[in-house]
A and B are shown apart, each in its own frame.
Chain A
Amino acid sequence: MQSSHSASAPGGAKLAAHFASLDVQKHAARLGMWLFLATEILLFAGLFACYAAYRFLFPEAWAASSRSLDLLMGSINTIVLITSSFTAAMAVHYAKEGKNKLVGHMFFLTLLMAGAFLVIKYFEYKHKFHIGTLPGRYYFYDGIQVPGAPMFFTVYFASTALHAFHVIIGMTVLAIIMVRAYRKGDFGPNNYTAVELGSMYWHLVDLVWIFLFPMLYLV
């Protein structure tokens, strides 16, 4: 009695008993996701506020430290992530047409690129650990002798690590949907909300990087 009863509706989507109709249920899911994305934006907004305050305080350190980042790796990562957002969007397109195999393939490509992003990020991190451009008191790099440089790397590591964490969460979500598309293959014109929401989350992860890249690499 306690669990909400489910009934099958045409097209394979399940209508939970407490919703008036399937349309309302989809609308609710989408609205919920938008609200969740709003919280994510506010989460990063706090970090951006820190960035803005410290860049205002230490403009020279910001410029000098930004030069020390590997612009090539950062640019490649940006292209990789934007492309992965394109394949995620294609997955939604195919889900609407009921082409489940293509949905799976598209998410597989997205995951591949997300993995590539993390690998490149790993090499960037490894280099920084090696030369000592590290946050706060762990900073031991000789190349930049401007006050405030350790603070740049505090902001750099805090924001890229939080972003990488979101990439991993996004990958998990997309992997689950990918498996569902391959195994169950029940996405169709009336049942693509899960693909859509997963893809929306992935676009947010991408969007945050689109802000982080110029803020950190192109100062």
Chain B
Amino acid sequence: MTPSSSIAAPGAAPGHEAHHDEHGDHPSYLVDGTTVKSWLLTVDHKRIGIMYMFWVLLFFLVGGIFALMIRLELLTPGPTIMDAMTYNRTFTLHGVVMIFLFMIPAIPAIFGNFMLPLMLGAKDVAFPRLNLLSLYVYLAGAGFALWGMLNGGLDTGWTFYTPYSAHTTTTVAPVLFGAFIIGFSSILTGMNFIVTAHTMRAPGITWFKMPLFVWALYATSCIQVLATPVIGLLLLLVSAENLFNLGMFDVARGGDPVLFQHLFWFYSHPAVYIMVLPAFGVMSEVVSTFSRKNIFGYRAVAYSSVGIAFVGFFAWGHHMFVSGQSTFDAGIFGALSMLVGVFTAIKVFNWVGTVYKGAVEFTTPFAYFCGFLFFTVFGGMTGIAVATVSLDVAWHDTYFVVAHFHFIMVGATIMAFLAALHYWFPKMFGKTYHEGWGLVSAALIILGFNATFIPQFLLGNAGMPRRYYEYPERFQALNVASTAGASLLAFGFVIIALYLTWALIYGKRVDNPWGSKGYEWLTASPPPTHNFVGPQPTYPEEPHFYVDPKKAEVSDAV
């Protein structure tokens, strides 16, 4: 199928007919300016997205290496490859790098940046220069954090709980300050996205015609804008505590460490939804495209994103069931946490409803969708379990909790990240990858992820606490299984890295290999610098407006 024939389909935007005649004069964003300066000082949201991709993937590699080191250390009950202090630093840095440098920016900063204006028919985000600034703020924060890591690292766990973080001899302040700076990058991106959704929608795109990925980004951005300043303040206070003995959480003078936990989780619980809501948005796009149907229950999915963002602000207390919170508070927070499960279930049912009677095309992104569905449901159900106070008292700070949040927060996000990477790879680079290798690595990663974390559920249930360097003999079999799973997972990622790099250079030239009718596919792949040529397109149809797959489209199937 040629690009122009997909554009000529019903629902195509006027102005696209002339597009290909002029293509020669409007080079794609990838080749429009080839100097280093044209990349580093660009204000093009697509180039900024690509640069984010480079750095975020680099930090994903760093965090992944830390993860493998942890798993290797836990292969045997005693010391294996490092001493206890190194182990403490390793799991702390694994958490810090993966959360602040990989998962929070991963989907919004890479795919959000790239797709949001395309999905709204805009030439760019509302504040292109702020967008570039957010990248450099991110890198400055990452630089601070890395400097701290190389100069000793810290051993507090990524949660930086006081009073320990105020008194440990390891390098806390630079890493905290780095996280503080990265927070600004997150705020800038969030502000930019909210304003973009409000002001940059093309004629015809009403709020309830916005692609669901945009809805998810909108909800995410609201959390980023409202929650991040609180942890910013907290990180400043703890840095000041650590450097100048400010005394805000100093127990000797009446300070309250539980207050620290409240403020910390006021951000860090909603932060979970900063990571997972964009993942939900990606999946709404993927499931529509590969089922050849628009999403079942569009408004329910859109509202439930906003609902999760809202309820997410009132659930933080479930991290503190054993911190001395009153039983009444714990009960309230438990019940509120379960509301998140209700909204997530609404989404899950709607995704399944979308697949039902769709014309499913089982490609790599769809394979990740299947994995995602499993991780979301399994992780979500265990989430209901740990939100139950009486159960959580036993499971708190065990591997059960580790496995739970890796399933829901990491599993779902990684699945969506990889689905987005594969689904939008042709959009971003105009090239395609080898589908067979895609499916093989998807299988490896989904199996590897399960093999890594299902044993950890069992370990936690048997009583193995998290963050411990040594463990009793009887836990070894499950730990070996978990490490084996992690190796499988790593192997899957290596395969992806190989075939995607190969595809980047030698991949087959494509425009819209999926025949997707998401708004972002209405322009060329890769898009020209200002996203479309000629006047701003109008969008008469909703996104993913496929003709009934059982009738007209069967003969025309891609």
- Do A and B interact? yes
On A, residues with C-beta under 8 Å from B are 1-4, 16-20, 24, 27-28, 31-32, 35-36, 38-40, 42-47, 49-50, 53-54, 57-58, 135-139, 147-148, 150-151, 154-155, 157-158, 162
User: By CB atoms of chain A within 10 A, which of B41, B123, B240, B254 has the most?
Assistant: B254
B69: chain A residues within 8 A (beta carbon): none
The yes or no answer to B545 lying at the interface (CB within 8 A) is no
What CA separation (Å) do A17 and B535 show in the bound complex?
12
Task: Specify which chain B residues have a CB less than 8 angstroms from the CB of A148 in the assembled complex.
Answer: 253-254
Bitwise, B246-267 to A at CB < 8 A (1) or not (0) is: 1110101111100100110010
B229 at the interface (CB under 8 A from A): yes
Q: Tell me if B230 and A46 are in contact (CB < 8 A).
A: yes
A137–B229 contact, CB under 8 A?
Answer: no
Cβ B233 vs Cβ A3 within 8 A: no
12 contacts between A and B (CB under 8 A): A2-B41, A2-B47, A3-B43, A4-B124, A42-B226, A49-B259, A49-B262, A50-B259, A137-B250, A151-B255, A154-B248, A162-B233
Of residues 223 through 237 on chain B, the ones whose CB sits less than 8 Å from some CB of chain A are: 225-230, 232-234, 236-237
Q: How many whole Å from B317's CB to the nearest CB in chain A? A: 14
Q: Are A32 and B123 in contact (CB under 8 A)?
A: no
CB-contacts of B520-545 with A (<8 A): 529-530, 536
With contact pairs A39-B187, A136-B250 given, residues A1 and B32 touching in the complex (Cβ less than 8 Å): yes
Asked if residues B233 and A54 are in contact (CB atoms below 8 Å), the reply is no
Interface residues of B in 108-148 (CB under 8 A from A): 122-124, 126-128, 130
Residues of A within 8 Å of B226, CB to CB, are 38-39, 42
Least CB separation from B260: chain A residue:
A50
Q: Which of A45, A53, A58, A135 contacts B259 (CB 8 A)?
A: A53
Residues of A near B41 (CB, < 8 A) are: 2
Given A2-B38, A2-B43, A136-B253, is A32 in contact with B195 using a C-beta cutoff of 8 Å? yes
Q: Is the CB of B199 within 8 A of A18?
A: no
CB <8 Å contact, A35 and B194:
yes
- Contacting residues, chain A, for B127 (C-beta < 8 A): 28, 32
CB distance from A6 to the nearest CB of B (A): 12
CB-based closest 8 A-B pairs:
A136-B247, A18-B123, A43-B229, A46-B233, A42-B229, A18-B124, A28-B199, A46-B230
Minimum distance in angstroms from B254 CB to a CB of chain A: 5
Least CB distance from A114 to B in Å reads 23
Q: Say whether B194 contacts A4, CB under 8 Å.
A: no
Q: If A32-B126, A32-B191, A137-B253 touch, does A151 touch B247 (CB 8 Å cutoff)?
A: yes
Main secondary structure of the interface of A (DSSP, over half): helix
B interface vs A, CB < 8 Å? 32-33, 38, 41-44, 47, 122-124, 126-128, 130, 187, 190-192, 194-195, 198-200, 225-230, 232-234, 236-237, 240, 245-248, 250, 252-256, 259, 262-263, 266, 529-530, 536
A53 to B263, CA, bound (A): 11
A82 CA to B169 CA in the complex, in Å?
45
Beta-carbon contact of B199 and A147 below 8 Å: no
Which residue of the partner chain A has the closest CB to B230?
A46
Most chain B CB neighbours (cut-off 10 Å) among A17, A136, A137, A139: A136
For residue B276, give the distance in angstroms from its CB to the closest CB of chain A.
21
Cβ of A46 and Cβ of B263 under 8 Å apart? yes
Check if B42 sits within 8 Å of A151, measured CB to CB: no
B166 to chain A, nearest CB (A): 10
Complex Cα gap A40–B253 (Å): 29
Verify A42–B230 contact, CB threshold 8 A: yes
Is A158 a contact partner of B246 (Cβ separation < 8 A)?
Answer: yes
**What residue in chain A is nearest B130 (Cβ atoms)?**
A32
- Are A135 and B228 CB-contacts (below 8 A) given A27-B199, A53-B256, A58-B254? no
Complex-state Cα separation, A135 to B254, whole angstroms: 12
